[in-house]
Structure 1
Amino acid sequence: MTRLTSGDYVVRAIRPAEWEKVRGLRLDALRDPAAPLAFLEGYEEAAAKADLFWQDRAAGSGEGSATAQQFIAELPDGSWAGSLTVLIEEAGTEDWAGFPVERRQGHVVGVYVRPEHRGNGLIKAMFDAGVSWAWGRGAERVRLLVHEDNERAQGAYRKAGFRPSGVRVPFVKDAAQNELEFVLDR
């Protein structure tokens, strides 16, 4: 098999009607060995969610949404190789963990690339699309949180241009562990 490069994929926003593929990719991500460090929900919890949840999620982060955008990497056969979502956080509000948001920013969540598509530059192409979308909505920076022990993800985020900010927040699943904030300033 020929090794794919990042140019072999189309990176685009999801469409609300693609909610079943959104669900399928998320469930696959939650089966990844790194999922307990990378995602806050577990496979069983996500698999039990009703279709309406996935329909709402796809509508809220699909093409045309001003506050969130889920990007996927699509192969020529229509299958999806990976995904990430960017949320817009407004200055003067609190983020999902209750911390104050000091400036308008993008917050990257739900990053996943299928194992057979890793190591070819795809993650950088997906981040480029997500960051560009955030800049187009007036974000002053883009950030993400990554578990302190998830070195593979930290390496991928560094390759995409993100750097540790020095901010550490308690890991929601275990306050004895931390997540590190990585940022990309405009």
Structure 2
Amino acid sequence: MEPIKIAIPNELFSPAEMAHFEGEADLGVLKAGPDLYTFTAPLAWSADITNTGDALLVTGTAEGEAVTSCARCLEDVTLPVTGDIEGYFLIGGEDAEAPEDMDEDEFDVLPADNKIDLAPLITAAVLLEVPLVPLCRDDCQGLCTACGANLNEGPCGCGPAAADDVDAANPFAVLKGLDLGAEAPEGAAE
């Protein structure tokens, strides 16, 4: 993603001042875990920057649509994505002191050129909102483990015999034949 630099106007260095910015961001393709999310159109974003006295607080939203593969059937699925943009930039350069209740990873220092790059904030906002397991629908049946047919389109031609063949190839199939017995050893918790 290209940088989205916001030049902070001089009036924003006065306490309690606020400014509004908006635009579009071309994310292209984002990787979240094993999944790739393709943004076919730029995301719309808006951000308010507020001077809190010792820092600039950035809040806003980023909205768009991403295309990814369903985790069960591998069909393309388009997902609406709306993320909250958040950032905290200390004013005063490297000598600025962070609030005691904040960890070092919760803020940045305002760069010397007084320009904030919103690209990492927008990317983080979007990554926090994409699902861990993207699904085309909640009741997606997935793929047949034997032939790979999409079970959402109907039953496959494998039938139950193919399922037994898959079990035979499974290294854990021998566990099916174990007799664990109904008796618990003495002293074992039930």
Q: TM-score, normalised by structure 1?
A: 0.23
Bigger share in helix: 1
Q: TM-score, normalised by structure 2?
A: 0.23
